[in-house]
Chains A and B, each alone.
Chain A
Amino acid sequence: MSTETACPLTARDYKSELKPVWCPGCGDFSVLMAITKALAETGRRPEEIAVISGIGCSSRLPAYTNCYGFHGVHGRALPLAAGLKLSRPDLLVIAAGGDGDGYSIGGNHFLHACRRNVDLTYIVMDNQVYGMTKGQPSPTTPPEWDSALAPGGTGLRPFHPLVIALAAGANFVARSFSGDPANTAQLVLEAIRHPGFSLIEILSPCVTFRPEDRNWAKRVHPAAVDETQDRARAARRVLTDDGFNTGILFRGDRPPYQPPYNPAEAGPVDFEVEFRP
Protein backbone atom coordinates (compact mmCIF):
# COMPACT_ATOMS: atom_id res chain seq x y z
CA MET A 1 0.00 0.00 0.00
CA SER A 2 1.57 3.26 -1.01
CA THR A 3 1.55 6.23 1.30
CA GLU A 4 -0.06 9.44 0.12
CA THR A 5 2.43 12.27 -0.15
CA ALA A 6 1.65 15.75 1.12
CA CYS A 7 3.44 17.46 -1.75
CA PRO A 8 4.96 16.11 -4.97
CA LEU A 9 8.35 14.52 -4.44
CA THR A 10 11.28 15.48 -6.64
CA ALA A 11 14.37 13.56 -7.70
CA ARG A 12 16.32 15.39 -5.01
CA ASP A 13 14.15 13.74 -2.33
CA TYR A 14 15.60 10.34 -3.32
CA LYS A 15 19.26 11.34 -3.30
CA SER A 16 21.37 10.83 -0.21
CA GLU A 17 23.87 13.32 1.15
CA LEU A 18 26.74 11.14 -0.06
CA LYS A 19 28.42 12.40 -3.21
CA PRO A 20 29.26 9.67 -5.74
CA VAL A 21 32.92 8.81 -6.16
CA TRP A 22 32.56 7.59 -9.74
CA CYS A 23 35.07 8.96 -12.23
CA PRO A 24 34.04 12.34 -13.70
CA GLY A 25 32.12 11.67 -16.91
CA CYS A 26 30.96 8.19 -15.84
CA GLY A 27 27.58 7.25 -17.27
CA ASP A 28 26.43 6.02 -13.86
CA PHE A 29 25.88 9.62 -12.70
CA SER A 30 23.16 9.99 -15.33
CA VAL A 31 21.65 6.63 -14.45
CA LEU A 32 21.38 7.68 -10.80
CA MET A 33 19.68 10.87 -11.94
CA ALA A 34 17.26 8.92 -14.15
CA ILE A 35 16.39 6.47 -11.37
CA THR A 36 15.68 9.23 -8.86
CA LYS A 37 13.53 11.07 -11.42
CA ALA A 38 11.56 7.89 -12.11
CA LEU A 39 11.12 7.20 -8.39
CA ALA A 40 9.76 10.72 -7.90
CA GLU A 41 7.17 10.00 -10.58
CA THR A 42 6.04 6.82 -8.86
CA GLY A 43 4.91 8.90 -5.87
CA ARG A 44 6.28 6.20 -3.55
CA ARG A 45 8.16 7.61 -0.60
CA PRO A 46 11.85 6.69 -0.12
CA GLU A 47 11.02 4.46 2.86
CA GLU A 48 8.72 2.40 0.63
CA ILE A 49 11.56 1.58 -1.75
CA ALA A 50 14.59 -0.71 -1.49
CA VAL A 51 17.60 -0.57 -3.82
CA ILE A 52 19.73 -3.72 -3.77
CA SER A 53 23.12 -4.26 -5.37
CA GLY A 54 26.14 -6.52 -5.57
CA ILE A 55 29.70 -5.32 -6.09
CA GLY A 56 31.23 -2.96 -8.62
CA CYS A 57 31.26 0.73 -9.52
CA SER A 58 27.57 0.82 -10.42
CA SER A 59 26.71 -1.29 -7.38
CA ARG A 60 27.57 1.68 -5.20
CA LEU A 61 24.26 3.15 -6.27
CA PRO A 62 22.19 2.26 -3.13
CA ALA A 63 24.45 4.49 -1.03
CA TYR A 64 23.61 7.46 -3.20
CA THR A 65 19.87 7.13 -2.67
CA ASN A 66 18.08 7.65 0.61
CA CYS A 67 15.80 4.67 0.03
CA TYR A 68 16.43 1.49 1.97
CA GLY A 69 19.47 -0.18 0.49
CA PHE A 70 21.60 -3.28 0.67
CA HIS A 71 25.08 -3.46 -0.84
CA GLY A 72 25.41 -7.21 -1.05
CA VAL A 73 27.94 -9.82 -2.10
CA HIS A 74 29.36 -9.90 -5.62
CA GLY A 75 26.77 -11.13 -8.11
CA ARG A 76 24.07 -11.67 -5.49
CA ALA A 77 21.88 -8.61 -5.96
CA LEU A 78 19.06 -10.58 -7.58
CA PRO A 79 18.54 -13.31 -4.96
CA LEU A 80 18.64 -10.65 -2.26
CA ALA A 81 16.16 -8.49 -4.13
CA ALA A 82 13.85 -11.42 -4.89
CA GLY A 83 13.94 -12.60 -1.29
CA LEU A 84 13.12 -9.14 -0.05
CA LYS A 85 10.24 -8.71 -2.49
CA LEU A 86 8.76 -12.09 -1.57
CA SER A 87 8.90 -11.31 2.13
CA ARG A 88 7.88 -7.65 1.79
CA PRO A 89 5.65 -7.44 -1.29
CA ASP A 90 4.57 -3.95 -0.24
CA LEU A 91 8.05 -2.57 -1.03
CA LEU A 92 9.09 -1.32 -4.43
CA VAL A 93 12.29 -3.28 -5.07
CA ILE A 94 15.02 -2.30 -7.51
CA ALA A 95 18.19 -4.30 -8.12
CA ALA A 96 21.10 -2.47 -9.72
CA GLY A 97 24.59 -3.33 -10.86
CA GLY A 98 26.97 -3.80 -13.71
CA ASP A 99 27.57 -6.31 -16.48
CA GLY A 100 30.31 -8.18 -14.62
CA ASP A 101 28.32 -8.45 -11.42
CA GLY A 102 25.08 -9.40 -13.14
CA TYR A 103 26.12 -11.55 -16.08
CA SER A 104 29.32 -13.23 -14.90
CA ILE A 105 29.51 -13.67 -11.15
CA GLY A 106 25.74 -13.42 -10.89
CA GLY A 107 24.95 -15.09 -14.20
CA ASN A 108 23.10 -18.05 -12.76
CA HIS A 109 20.99 -15.83 -10.52
CA PHE A 110 20.16 -13.73 -13.58
CA LEU A 111 18.74 -16.75 -15.41
CA HIS A 112 16.57 -17.83 -12.51
CA ALA A 113 15.42 -14.33 -11.65
CA CYS A 114 14.08 -14.07 -15.21
CA ARG A 115 12.48 -17.50 -14.87
CA ARG A 116 10.86 -16.83 -11.48
CA ASN A 117 9.46 -13.48 -12.60
CA VAL A 118 9.30 -11.88 -9.17
CA ASP A 119 7.95 -8.34 -9.42
CA LEU A 120 11.13 -6.30 -9.35
CA THR A 121 13.16 -4.09 -11.66
CA TYR A 122 16.74 -4.95 -12.54
CA ILE A 123 18.87 -2.09 -13.86
CA VAL A 124 22.16 -3.14 -15.42
CA MET A 125 24.65 -0.38 -16.18
CA ASP A 126 26.56 -2.09 -18.97
CA ASN A 127 29.96 -0.54 -19.62
CA GLN A 128 31.48 -3.69 -21.13
CA VAL A 129 34.32 -3.78 -18.62
CA TYR A 130 35.19 -4.43 -14.98
CA GLY A 131 35.92 -0.83 -13.99
CA MET A 132 36.35 -1.12 -10.24
CA THR A 133 39.10 -3.73 -10.58
CA LYS A 134 40.98 -1.73 -13.24
CA GLY A 135 39.69 -2.77 -16.61
CA GLN A 136 39.44 -6.53 -17.10
CA PRO A 137 37.16 -7.73 -19.93
CA SER A 138 33.64 -8.56 -18.82
CA PRO A 139 31.04 -10.90 -20.37
CA THR A 140 29.85 -8.13 -22.72
CA THR A 141 33.28 -6.86 -23.83
CA PRO A 142 33.79 -6.99 -27.60
CA PRO A 143 36.21 -9.82 -28.52
CA GLU A 144 38.69 -7.56 -30.27
CA TRP A 145 39.05 -5.03 -27.43
CA ASP A 146 42.78 -4.69 -26.93
CA SER A 147 44.00 -3.61 -23.51
CA ALA A 148 46.97 -4.09 -21.20
CA LEU A 149 45.05 -6.74 -19.28
CA ALA A 150 43.82 -8.54 -22.41
CA PRO A 151 46.45 -8.00 -25.10
CA GLY A 152 44.98 -8.60 -28.54
CA GLY A 153 41.50 -8.97 -27.09
CA THR A 154 39.83 -12.01 -25.60
CA GLY A 155 38.55 -13.36 -28.91
CA LEU A 156 35.48 -14.49 -27.01
CA ARG A 157 31.91 -14.07 -28.17
CA PRO A 158 30.12 -11.55 -25.89
CA PHE A 159 27.21 -12.58 -23.71
CA HIS A 160 23.86 -11.40 -25.12
CA PRO A 161 21.88 -10.51 -21.99
CA LEU A 162 18.65 -9.32 -23.56
CA VAL A 163 18.14 -12.45 -25.66
CA ILE A 164 18.98 -14.64 -22.69
CA ALA A 165 16.54 -12.67 -20.52
CA LEU A 166 13.82 -13.19 -23.11
CA ALA A 167 14.55 -16.91 -23.37
CA ALA A 168 14.58 -17.29 -19.60
CA GLY A 169 11.23 -15.56 -19.10
CA ALA A 170 11.81 -11.90 -18.21
CA ASN A 171 8.53 -10.02 -18.46
CA PHE A 172 9.82 -6.63 -19.63
CA VAL A 173 13.01 -5.92 -21.55
CA ALA A 174 14.33 -2.51 -22.51
CA ARG A 175 17.57 -0.84 -23.50
CA SER A 176 18.62 2.72 -22.86
CA PHE A 177 21.65 5.00 -22.90
CA SER A 178 22.96 6.92 -19.90
CA GLY A 179 23.45 10.04 -22.02
CA ASP A 180 19.70 10.20 -22.53
CA PRO A 181 18.52 10.59 -18.93
CA ALA A 182 14.99 11.79 -19.75
CA ASN A 183 14.15 8.70 -21.80
CA THR A 184 16.02 6.49 -19.36
CA ALA A 185 13.89 7.86 -16.52
CA GLN A 186 10.77 7.12 -18.54
CA LEU A 187 11.91 3.55 -19.24
CA VAL A 188 12.74 2.97 -15.57
CA LEU A 189 9.28 4.20 -14.67
CA GLU A 190 7.67 1.88 -17.24
CA ALA A 191 9.73 -1.03 -15.93
CA ILE A 192 8.73 -0.33 -12.33
CA ARG A 193 5.07 -0.13 -13.27
CA HIS A 194 5.13 -3.34 -15.31
CA PRO A 195 4.35 -6.41 -13.18
CA GLY A 196 6.99 -9.12 -12.98
CA PHE A 197 10.71 -9.16 -13.62
CA SER A 198 11.80 -6.15 -15.67
CA LEU A 199 15.28 -5.82 -17.13
CA ILE A 200 16.69 -2.52 -18.35
CA GLU A 201 20.10 -2.60 -19.92
CA ILE A 202 21.54 0.90 -19.77
CA LEU A 203 24.58 1.49 -21.92
CA SER A 204 26.74 3.47 -19.51
CA PRO A 205 30.25 4.25 -20.75
CA CYS A 206 33.30 3.72 -18.57
CA VAL A 207 35.27 6.83 -19.50
CA THR A 208 38.39 5.68 -17.68
CA PHE A 209 39.01 2.19 -19.02
CA ARG A 210 37.05 2.38 -22.27
CA PRO A 211 37.26 6.08 -23.18
CA GLU A 212 36.45 5.21 -26.79
CA ASP A 213 32.89 4.52 -25.63
CA ARG A 214 32.26 8.23 -25.19
CA ASN A 215 31.18 7.99 -28.84
CA TRP A 216 28.20 5.80 -27.92
CA ALA A 217 26.22 9.04 -27.91
CA LYS A 218 26.60 9.05 -31.70
CA ARG A 219 25.70 5.39 -32.11
CA VAL A 220 22.52 5.01 -30.05
CA HIS A 221 19.18 5.43 -31.78
CA PRO A 222 15.55 4.72 -30.95
CA ALA A 223 14.37 1.23 -31.95
CA ALA A 224 12.92 1.44 -35.43
CA VAL A 225 9.97 -0.79 -34.57
CA ASP A 226 7.37 -0.60 -31.82
CA GLU A 227 7.58 -2.75 -28.71
CA THR A 228 6.18 -6.24 -29.04
CA GLN A 229 4.45 -8.72 -26.77
CA ASP A 230 5.73 -11.58 -28.91
CA ARG A 231 8.75 -13.04 -27.12
CA ALA A 232 10.16 -14.83 -30.17
CA ARG A 233 9.87 -11.75 -32.34
CA ALA A 234 11.57 -9.63 -29.67
CA ALA A 235 14.41 -12.16 -29.41
CA ARG A 236 14.93 -12.19 -33.19
CA ARG A 237 15.05 -8.41 -33.28
CA VAL A 238 17.51 -8.17 -30.41
CA LEU A 239 19.73 -10.89 -31.90
CA THR A 240 20.01 -9.06 -35.18
CA ASP A 241 20.19 -5.44 -34.03
CA ASP A 242 23.37 -3.41 -33.68
CA GLY A 243 23.22 -3.33 -29.89
CA PHE A 244 22.48 0.38 -29.84
CA ASN A 245 18.75 0.60 -30.46
CA THR A 246 16.92 1.88 -27.41
CA GLY A 247 13.41 1.72 -26.05
CA ILE A 248 11.05 -0.94 -24.79
CA LEU A 249 11.84 -4.10 -26.72
CA PHE A 250 9.44 -6.53 -25.06
CA ARG A 251 6.45 -6.23 -22.74
CA GLY A 252 5.08 -9.59 -21.61
CA ASP A 253 2.03 -10.69 -19.69
CA ARG A 254 3.32 -13.46 -17.43
CA PRO A 255 1.83 -13.19 -13.95
CA PRO A 256 4.51 -12.39 -11.36
CA TYR A 257 5.57 -15.04 -8.88
CA GLN A 258 4.30 -13.99 -5.47
CA PRO A 259 3.28 -16.78 -3.09
CA PRO A 260 0.70 -15.84 -0.47
CA TYR A 261 2.41 -14.20 2.44
CA ASN A 262 1.02 -13.30 5.83
CA PRO A 263 3.46 -11.27 7.92
CA ALA A 264 1.64 -12.34 11.07
CA GLU A 265 2.46 -15.99 10.36
CA ALA A 266 6.17 -15.73 9.65
CA GLY A 267 8.66 -13.25 10.98
CA PRO A 268 12.21 -13.05 12.24
CA VAL A 269 11.23 -14.71 15.53
CA ASP A 270 10.25 -17.90 13.69
CA PHE A 271 13.61 -18.05 11.98
CA GLU A 272 15.30 -17.50 15.30
CA VAL A 273 13.52 -20.56 16.70
CA GLU A 274 14.84 -22.67 13.83
CA PHE A 275 18.42 -21.81 14.74
CA ARG A 276 18.19 -22.53 18.44
CA PRO A 277 20.17 -25.59 19.54
Chain B
Amino acid sequence: MTITDVATLLAHAHAMEQEAAERYEELAAQMYAVNNSKIGDLFTKLAEIEAKHAAQLSLEHGAANLALTASDYKWNSLESPEAIPIGEMHYLLPERRAMTLALAAEHRALAFYERLADDAPNEKLRAMAAEFAADEATHVRIVQAWLLRLEADVENWHEDMDPPVSL
Protein backbone atom coordinates (compact mmCIF):
# COMPACT_ATOMS: atom_id res chain seq x y z
CA MET B 1 0.00 0.00 0.00
CA THR B 2 1.55 3.31 -1.02
CA ILE B 3 -1.19 5.79 -0.14
CA THR B 4 0.42 8.21 2.28
CA ASP B 5 -1.68 11.38 2.14
CA VAL B 6 -5.32 12.36 2.42
CA ALA B 7 -5.61 13.77 -1.11
CA THR B 8 -4.53 10.45 -2.64
CA LEU B 9 -6.91 8.57 -0.35
CA LEU B 10 -9.79 10.78 -1.44
CA ALA B 11 -8.93 10.22 -5.10
CA HIS B 12 -9.00 6.47 -4.47
CA ALA B 13 -12.26 6.68 -2.52
CA HIS B 14 -13.99 8.62 -5.27
CA ALA B 15 -12.62 6.38 -8.03
CA MET B 16 -13.74 3.29 -6.12
CA GLU B 17 -17.35 4.49 -5.88
CA GLN B 18 -17.35 5.86 -9.42
CA GLU B 19 -15.97 2.64 -10.90
CA ALA B 20 -18.42 0.56 -8.88
CA ALA B 21 -21.29 2.68 -10.25
CA GLU B 22 -20.02 2.41 -13.83
CA ARG B 23 -19.51 -1.33 -13.46
CA TYR B 24 -23.06 -1.84 -12.18
CA GLU B 25 -24.35 0.20 -15.13
CA GLU B 26 -22.36 -2.00 -17.48
CA LEU B 27 -23.53 -5.21 -15.81
CA ALA B 28 -27.12 -3.97 -15.98
CA ALA B 29 -26.69 -3.42 -19.73
CA GLN B 30 -25.31 -6.98 -20.06
CA MET B 31 -28.34 -8.37 -18.27
CA TYR B 32 -30.85 -6.34 -20.30
CA ALA B 33 -29.13 -7.54 -23.48
CA VAL B 34 -29.95 -11.15 -22.57
CA ASN B 35 -33.44 -10.31 -21.33
CA ASN B 36 -32.58 -10.87 -17.67
CA SER B 37 -34.43 -7.69 -16.72
CA LYS B 38 -34.86 -8.57 -13.07
CA ILE B 39 -31.12 -8.54 -12.47
CA GLY B 40 -30.71 -5.63 -14.88
CA ASP B 41 -33.05 -3.60 -12.67
CA LEU B 42 -31.19 -4.72 -9.55
CA PHE B 43 -27.82 -3.63 -10.96
CA THR B 44 -29.33 -0.34 -12.10
CA LYS B 45 -30.47 0.29 -8.54
CA LEU B 46 -27.02 -0.59 -7.17
CA ALA B 47 -25.42 1.72 -9.76
CA GLU B 48 -27.57 4.58 -8.50
CA ILE B 49 -26.55 3.87 -4.91
CA GLU B 50 -22.84 3.81 -5.77
CA ALA B 51 -23.20 7.00 -7.85
CA LYS B 52 -24.75 8.68 -4.80
CA HIS B 53 -21.75 7.61 -2.70
CA ALA B 54 -19.40 9.12 -5.29
CA ALA B 55 -21.42 12.34 -5.38
CA GLN B 56 -21.40 12.50 -1.59
CA LEU B 57 -17.60 12.20 -1.54
CA SER B 58 -17.38 15.01 -4.06
CA LEU B 59 -19.71 17.18 -2.04
CA GLU B 60 -18.01 16.60 1.29
CA HIS B 61 -14.39 16.45 0.21
CA GLY B 62 -14.14 17.71 -3.38
CA ALA B 63 -12.84 14.27 -4.21
CA ALA B 64 -13.87 14.36 -7.87
CA ASN B 65 -11.24 17.01 -8.52
CA LEU B 66 -8.44 14.73 -7.38
CA ALA B 67 -8.46 12.16 -10.18
CA LEU B 68 -5.12 10.41 -10.73
CA THR B 69 -3.87 8.80 -13.91
CA ALA B 70 -4.86 5.13 -14.17
CA SER B 71 -1.41 3.83 -13.30
CA ASP B 72 -1.33 5.86 -10.07
CA TYR B 73 -4.16 3.96 -8.43
CA LYS B 74 -2.86 1.39 -5.96
CA TRP B 75 -5.60 -1.10 -5.26
CA ASN B 76 -3.54 -4.17 -4.36
CA SER B 77 -6.00 -6.07 -6.56
CA LEU B 78 -6.62 -6.44 -10.29
CA GLU B 79 -9.41 -3.85 -10.25
CA SER B 80 -10.81 -1.29 -7.87
CA PRO B 81 -12.14 -3.36 -4.97
CA GLU B 82 -15.82 -2.44 -5.14
CA ALA B 83 -16.26 -3.32 -8.82
CA ILE B 84 -17.75 -6.78 -9.41
CA PRO B 85 -15.45 -8.65 -11.83
CA ILE B 86 -17.03 -8.93 -15.26
CA GLY B 87 -16.04 -12.60 -15.41
CA GLU B 88 -18.54 -13.36 -12.63
CA MET B 89 -21.48 -12.61 -14.91
CA HIS B 90 -23.75 -15.27 -16.35
CA TYR B 91 -26.77 -14.76 -18.54
CA LEU B 92 -28.92 -16.78 -16.13
CA LEU B 93 -27.64 -14.96 -13.03
CA PRO B 94 -30.28 -15.14 -10.28
CA GLU B 95 -31.02 -12.53 -7.63
CA ARG B 96 -29.41 -14.06 -4.57
CA ARG B 97 -26.20 -14.85 -6.45
CA ALA B 98 -26.15 -11.26 -7.76
CA MET B 99 -26.49 -9.86 -4.25
CA THR B 100 -23.81 -12.23 -2.99
CA LEU B 101 -21.46 -10.71 -5.57
CA ALA B 102 -22.47 -7.23 -4.36
CA LEU B 103 -21.75 -8.28 -0.77
CA ALA B 104 -18.30 -9.56 -1.74
CA ALA B 105 -17.60 -6.20 -3.39
CA GLU B 106 -18.54 -4.34 -0.19
CA HIS B 107 -16.31 -6.68 1.82
CA ARG B 108 -13.38 -5.94 -0.50
CA ALA B 109 -13.92 -2.20 -0.08
CA LEU B 110 -14.06 -2.62 3.72
CA ALA B 111 -10.85 -4.66 3.72
CA PHE B 112 -9.14 -2.02 1.57
CA TYR B 113 -9.86 0.77 4.05
CA GLU B 114 -9.15 -1.37 7.13
CA ARG B 115 -5.75 -2.28 5.76
CA LEU B 116 -5.06 1.32 4.87
CA ALA B 117 -6.03 2.45 8.38
CA ASP B 118 -3.72 -0.18 9.88
CA ASP B 119 -0.78 0.88 7.70
CA ALA B 120 -1.38 4.65 7.71
CA PRO B 121 1.81 6.63 8.38
CA ASN B 122 -0.02 9.51 10.05
CA GLU B 123 -3.05 10.07 12.25
CA LYS B 124 -5.00 12.20 9.75
CA LEU B 125 -4.84 9.48 7.10
CA ARG B 126 -5.63 6.77 9.64
CA ALA B 127 -8.71 8.62 10.87
CA MET B 128 -10.07 9.16 7.37
CA ALA B 129 -9.42 5.55 6.34
CA ALA B 130 -11.15 4.37 9.52
CA GLU B 131 -14.13 6.63 8.75
CA PHE B 132 -14.43 5.18 5.26
CA ALA B 133 -14.05 1.66 6.68
CA ALA B 134 -16.95 2.37 9.02
CA ASP B 135 -19.06 3.52 6.05
CA GLU B 136 -18.25 0.33 4.18
CA ALA B 137 -19.07 -1.76 7.25
CA THR B 138 -22.51 -0.12 7.22
CA HIS B 139 -22.91 -1.01 3.53
CA VAL B 140 -21.95 -4.60 4.32
CA ARG B 141 -24.68 -4.80 6.96
CA ILE B 142 -27.27 -3.29 4.60
CA VAL B 143 -26.47 -5.80 1.87
CA GLN B 144 -26.47 -8.66 4.38
CA ALA B 145 -29.94 -7.59 5.55
CA TRP B 146 -31.06 -7.36 1.91
CA LEU B 147 -29.78 -10.89 1.31
CA LEU B 148 -31.73 -12.23 4.26
CA ARG B 149 -34.97 -11.10 2.63
CA LEU B 150 -34.26 -13.04 -0.57
CA GLU B 151 -35.32 -16.58 -1.27
CA ALA B 152 -32.66 -19.14 -2.13
CA ASP B 153 -31.78 -19.41 -5.81
CA VAL B 154 -32.88 -22.57 -7.55
CA GLU B 155 -30.26 -25.28 -7.47
CA ASN B 156 -28.14 -25.49 -10.64
CA TRP B 157 -29.42 -22.08 -11.73
CA HIS B 158 -26.71 -21.93 -14.38
CA GLU B 159 -27.94 -25.02 -16.22
CA ASP B 160 -29.69 -24.14 -19.47
CA MET B 161 -32.25 -26.53 -20.92
CA ASP B 162 -31.58 -25.04 -24.37
CA PRO B 163 -27.83 -24.49 -24.35
CA PRO B 164 -25.56 -23.18 -27.12
CA VAL B 165 -24.95 -26.00 -29.61
CA SER B 166 -21.47 -27.21 -28.79
CA LEU B 167 -21.74 -27.39 -25.01
Residues of A within 8 A of B (CB): 8, 12, 19-27, 29-30, 33, 37, 41, 134-136, 147-149, 178-183, 185-186, 205, 207-209, 211, 214, 217
Contact = CB atoms under 8 A, between A and B. Distances in A.
Interface stretch (B44-52, B82-90, B117-125): B82-90
Contact of A24 (B30, B69, B71, B75): B30
Nearest to B92: A24
A182 to B, nearest CB: 6
Contacts, number: 90
B166 A135 contact: yes
Contacts of A21: 33
Interface of B: 22, 26-27, 29-34, 36, 67, 69-71, 73, 75, 78-79, 85-91, 93, 164-167
Contacts of B79: 180-182
Contact of B34 (A24, A37, A185, A209): A24
Nearest to B158: A211
- Say whether chain A's binding surface is mostly helix, strand, loop, or mixed: loop
A209 B30 CA distance: 18
- Say whether chain B's binding surface is mostly helix, strand, loop, or mixed: loop
B87 A27 contact: yes
Contacts of A19: 29, 32-33
A181 B27 CA distance: 16
22 contacts: A12-B22, A22-B30, A24-B31, A24-B89, A24-B93, A29-B26, A29-B30, A37-B70, A134-B166, A135-B166, A135-B167, A136-B166, A148-B165, A149-B166, A178-B86, A179-B86, A186-B71, A207-B87, A207-B89, A209-B164, A209-B167, A211-B167
Nearest to A19: B29
Nearest to A134: B165
B164 A25 contact: no
Contact of A25 (B69, B89, B165): B89
B166 A23 contact: no
Contacts of B85: 179, 217
Q: Which residue among B27, B36, B166 has the maximum number of chain A CB atoms within 10 Å of its CB?
A: B166
